[in-house]
Structure 1
Amino acid sequence: MKLGVPGKVLQFLLIGIVVAAVGTGLWLLGPISEQRSKKLDEKRISDLQFINGALQSYWNINKKLPSDLKKLENLPGVLISTNDPKTLQPYVYRVKGTANYELCSEFETESTGTLSRWSHGKGQECFEFEIKEESR
């Protein structure tokens, strides 16, 4: 079936609309690699939050901080990831005092969320913590 001039114009117009819609959608989402990096950073923050909670639990049981994150694996009911989701390297954990410690990770993007406690720039970022008084 041959299309007349109006049919061809309509066909090209529809193709143009579809291409524009797809292009706009991709532009709004940002590059796929950037989205992947943001998801990895969200996972890193989630891991660090769970590690922080597990460290509080460890303190409640042992009244001291563990020497390394591997000790958290023996806590009952605690399932945490202590390794970066991309590099599979362990997160950095440093005991800074009797009840003080820091957790560090390498981030691929700058945070844009509202979790100010967990705000981070691109690159290495460390978060300092102190065991809460009621846990001591």
Structure 2
Amino acid sequence: MSGPGRGRMLVIAAGVAIAATVVAALLVTGLPDAQRQARLDERRVQDLHRIDLAIRAHARQHDALPATLDGLGEATGRRLSLAEPGTGARYGFSVPAPDRYRLCAVFATDSRDRAAGDVPEGWAHPAGPHCFERRLDADGDARR
């Protein structure tokens, strides 16, 4: 085959190759919305981890858990985000016992779907509402 027919076949083959590359890239990296949701969940975990550290600092300073998250950042000298990115809903916090507390958020993704090491230890979560249970030891440090 020569002439215009061959050129046309090359254009079609190149188009198929480009389309296959785009599809493969999307399969490997995920769709843009899924990537955005995963990044928001990573931010939620970071926020909760910082709040957790502030709660432990408060417990060591005052020998008690805080009653609420309000004012916790100022009291411990930490910059905290108390609202979920994307929705603006406040993170959940409760103290069911003098040595136990819960930190809660609503996650868009299941962290078990990510590669090992992508989620810090102790912060794995399913999609949807989830609470992390924490317990203070005698030194005011949290145990999971």
When the two structures are superposed, what TM-score results if normalisation uses the length of structure 2? 0.82
Residue matched to 1:102:
102
The more displaced of 114-123 and 22-31 is 114-123
| RMSD of aligned alpha carbons | 1.9
User: Do 2:60 and 2:139's aligned partners in 1 also have CA atoms closer than 8 Å?
Assistant: no
Stretches of 4+ moved more than 4 A in 1?
A: 113-116
Does residue 111 of the first structure (1) align with residue 111 of the second (2)? yes
Q: Letter of the 1:120 partner, please give it.
A: H
Q: Name the % identity.
A: 28
**Aligned counterparts, 1:35-114, within 5 A:** 35-112=35-112, 113=114, 114=116
**In structure 1, how many angstroms separate the alpha carbons of the residues matched to 2:51 and 2:20?**
45
Q: Letter of the 1:127 partner, please give it.
A: F
Per-residue CA deviation, residues 76-120 of structure 1 (Å, 9 max, x unaligned), is: 541111111111111010012222111111111211254452222
When the two structures are superposed, what TM-score results if normalisation uses the length of structure 1? 0.86
**In structure 2, how many angstroms separate the alpha carbons of the residues matched to 1:117 and 1:101?**
15
3-state secondary structure, aligned to 2:52: helix
TM superposition shift of 1:33: 1.9
Q: Which of the residues 123, 135, 139 maps onto 1:134?
A: 139
3-state secondary structure, aligned to 1:68: coil
Does residue 19 of the first structure (1) align with residue 24 of the second (2)? no
More helix as a share of residues: 1
**In structure 1, how many angstroms separate the alpha carbons of the residues matched to 2:73 and 2:98?**
21
Question: What count of residue pairs does the alignment treat as equivalent?
Answer: 134
Q: Letter of the 1:117 partner, please give it.
A: G
Per-residue CA deviation, residues 17-52 of structure 1 (Å, 9 max, x unaligned), is: 111101211122233222222111111111111110
